[in-house]
Amino acid sequence: MLYLIGMGIEKGDMTLKGTEAIKKSSQIFIESYTSFPYELDFETTLLPRGKVESNFLLDKAEEDTIAILIPGDPLFATTHISLIKEGKEKGIDIEVIHAPSIINAIARTGLSTYKFGRIVTLSQTYESDKERIENNLKAGLHSLCLIDPEMKLDDAINILRAMGFDNELLVCERLGSKTEKIYFGKEFTIDFGKPPYSIILPGELHFFEEEFIQQFRV
């Protein structure tokens, strides 16, 4: 048995179902390459990306009941979808236990979740990312940019500017947590806090969205 358990955004987000699944597991693993996991009160084994994407977990699950903890929601990354597919092909029981993620938390900006286009992950200046954002904006859709965990927020903003986007931005720190910060504007002379970070390029704004985000203006 393999449990894919979402940790949510911060401590306290993990569901009761997730907690019960952990109690049933003989080994508990955790991945941290998609975001930053919060501190836990029990022992886990950190798995690098290569092991998560290999047969390591499925081989373990063939012999025993194990769990892997994933920051946010377990199905937000395609790697974990692959685990489910390969596990079912091998006849391994797999249970997915969902939890809050950035996809839920973007609603805290006041922007309609129905009006978001394709998501991009910023790590450097890729032409494909630029095209996706351009296509979103042409369609009037908001663009959510997830920031590589190793990247500084200032550097991510500079990448968007280098791509030619001089739009006003919603810059977010730890969105969905008790310590979240949201800033709206073009120029940011701010000593940014700790990750995870995300940036939203607003598309066409409904009057309510436009009014709501003014509270974040810097």
CATH at 27: 3.40.1010.10
Minimum mean pLDDT among 31-40, 117-126, 200-209: which range? 31-40
Question: Residue 177 contacts by C-beta under 8 Å, 6 or more apart in sequence?
Answer: 9, 10
Q: Is a pLDDT exceeding 80 seen at residue 35?
A: no
Q: In what order do the strands lie in the sheet with 143-147?
A: 120-122, 143-147, 197-201, 169-173, 181-185
Residues 113 and 95 placed together within one structural domain of the fold: no
pTM greater than 0.95: no
In this structure, the number of other CB atoms found within 10 A of the CB of residue 78 comes to 9
- For 157-202, what is each residue's pLDDT tens digit? 999 999 999 999 999 999 999 999 999 999 999 999 999 999 999 9
Q: Is a pLDDT exceeding 80 seen at residue 36?
A: no
Which CATH number covers residue 194? 3.30.950.10
Domain of residue 91, residue span: 2-100
Among 100, 134, 164, where does a domain finish?
100
What ranges make up the beta strands (E) of 48-157?
66-71, 94-97, 120-122, 143-147
Residue 77: pLDDT band (50, 70, 90) is confident
Residues 92 and 111 placed together within one structural domain of the fold: no
